[in-house]
Amino acid sequence: PASKAANGSWNVAGLTLPGPKSDRQTIDFAIRPEDVDAGDNGLLAIVRVIEPLGPHTLVTCDVEGGLFRAVLDSNAAVAVGDRLRLAPKPDRIRWFDPETANAL
């Protein structure tokens, strides 16, 4: 879930991101697992499950009580319990109306 912030931005799990214009106070944030980058900034994610899949590693994380998946490089050194920062690629974020499920 995303809550309305100032100047057309939205708060998502402690991260403020630019987003669509909407009269709603909350909307849904969505992004595919391959569209985040591990780094110093982004959503705080606690690793719960690690799945090495050859060319990449799929990690299932807890982000503010919700499950979130991310695709990382196969050489990523992660362990269960690690804290990661996952930065969404801005042009890959999708926003939805939570009542209608329509894209915004």
Residues 40 and 16 in one domain: no
The fraction of the chain above a pLDDT of 70, given in percent, is: 100
Residues 7 and 39 in one domain: no
Residues 79 and 59 in one domain: yes
Band (37; pLDDT cuts 50, 70, 90): very high
Residues 54 and 83 in one domain: yes
Residues 40 and 81 in one domain: yes
Mean pLDDT of the region 54-68? 95
Mean pLDDT of the region 40-52? 96
Band (18; pLDDT cuts 50, 70, 90): very high
Strand order of the sheet with strand 36-39? 36-39, 83-88, 43-52, 56-63, 66-73
Residues 68 and 55 in one domain: yes
Per the structure, the complete domain to which residue 27 belongs is given by 1-31+90-104
Q: Contact 12/27 with Cβ under 8 angstroms? A: no
Q: Contact 68/86 with Cβ under 8 angstroms? A: yes
Predicted local distance difference test score (pLDDT) of residue 95: 98
Number of domains in the chain: 2
Predicted local distance difference test score (pLDDT) of residue 40: 93
